[in-house]
Each structure stands twice: as C-alpha cells, then as structure tokens.
Structure 1
Amino acid sequence: MNKTSALILFAHGARDPRWAGPFQRLQKMTQEASPDISVELAFLEFMSPALPELVRRLTEEGIRNITVTPIFLGQGGHVLRDLPVLLDQLRGEFPALALTLSTAVGEDETVLTAIRDYCLRQL
C-alpha cells in the first residue's frame, strides 16, 4: 500500500543522543498503532532529521498530507514563533502539500491527566 499521509512528531532536540530515546519509543508505538500512515520524528535543532529535510524526503516518497504534532508541554516560543515560520517556508516550497499543525501535546487535557497520574503514583 502506498502511504500518502504522514504524522511528524516534532521535538526540540539535544546534543546528547540519549535524550531522543523516549521520542523514538513514542514514534515506534504510534507507527505500530497506525500502520496505514507514515509516522516520523523530526527535530528543531541539534538532532536530525530537521523538519525541512524530513518534509522534502516525504514529499519525494509521495506523501501529500502531513500533520506536524509538537511534542512539547506548552505552546512556547519554539511552537508559537519558530515552527510557524518553518511551516510557511515549506508551504511555499510545496504548495500542493497539505500541511497541518497540531497544538503542543501538553495542551491536551488527556496528556496532562496522564502526567498528573504519573506524578501522583510517585508518592
């Protein structure tokens, strides 16, 4: 089956490669739960692939619909300022691509509830 849709989990990135471990596990879990779409991981800085690099590759592979979901706890400066600029540049480069931005995962009530439950289990 040719996949035409992708979900990009977008994370900050860090110099220490171990930092990416939880994000890689999340990508794998998400891909296993949704085999009909391509689930990828991109980074803002320090790690690869960078978002523009990944979007270019996906479009070359025939992906026509991409949703970018920031794996950030809040809608801070990177999500509110840096990411929209990147997406606008990509929309200019790929006008036929449907490129959607989700809110940061930490803005979702179910995510906050899961984090709260985890914290309370630590007592």
Structure 2
Amino acid sequence: MPAQRALILFAHGARDPQWAEPFQRLAALLQDRQTESRVSLAFLELMTPSLADCVAEQVAAGITHITIVPAFMARGSHLRRDLPLLIEELAARHPQIELQVTAALGEAEPVLAAMADWIASQ
C-alpha cells in the first residue's frame, strides 16, 4: 500500500543549482527515516518544482495528508506573507487533503542546538 502521507521540504530557491544540494541531501536523509511518508523538495522561486506542482504530484499519487516544512532560518516575509497565501490557494485547489505547516527549521530548538554544537566544535 503506498504512503498516504507526504512531507515537503519548502526552500527558497536560487539561480545556482549547487545551492539546492544540502536540501536534496536533507530530503534523502528524511526519506530514509520516514519510510511511511513520501518526502519531496519544493521551492518558492527560481527552481522547480514549485510548491503547487509538488502538492499536485503528491495528490495525484493518492496522498491525503501533507506536512510542509519551511527550510528557512526564520519567518521573514516569505513565510509570514507568501506561504500563507500559497497554502490558502492549495487548500482551495485540493480540499480533499489535509495541509499542515511546521515552524521554520531555523526556529526549532533542536536545530539551533545542533547548529550551536557544530559551531562550538570548530
């Protein structure tokens, strides 16, 4: 039975394709740990897939619950203004699915602690 849950890492995007490499590695690590969910990566701009395209792909695969994890350090204007509008549009386009949005990665205490540990070890 295919997974009915998905986790989408949502990153900003950049013109340089190498910029996405850490996010791609994170998505692969998550997929190894979250075998019951489909893990994918979407971008706000400059890269593909967009969040809308990624959600549509998950819905077409039978996904009924999507958790979106903003791969941002903090809630700047993209997360305060742009993301809520995108979520509102996605909810209207796909009323049959449950969308959940977590806090920005950089605001999670365990993430900050891991970064502080790494910095302190340098």
- TM-score, structure 2 as length reference: 0.97
CA distance in 1, matches of 2:36, 2:111: 24
Residue 36 of structure 1 and its aligned partner are, at CA, apart by 1.1
CA distance in 2, matches of 1:30, 1:39: 7
Residue 73 of structure 1 and its aligned partner are, at CA, apart by 0.8
1:117 corresponding residue in structure 2? 117
Residue 39 of structure 1 and its aligned partner are, at CA, apart by 0.5
Equivalences for residues 1-123 of structure 1 within 5 A: 1-122=1-122
Runs of 5+ consecutive residues of structure 2 not aligned to the other structure:
none
Residue 121 of structure 1 and its aligned partner are, at CA, apart by 1.4
Percent identity of equivalent pairs: 46
Runs of 5+ consecutive residues of structure 1 not aligned to the other structure:
none
SS for the counterpart of 1:66 is strand
CA distance in 1, matches of 2:36, 2:103: 23
RMSD over aligned CA atoms reads: 0.7
Counterpart AA for 1:44: L
- TM-score, structure 1 as length reference: 0.97
CA distance in 2, matches of 1:57, 1:113: 34
The number of aligned residues is 122
Residue 95 of structure 1 and its aligned partner are, at CA, apart by 0.8
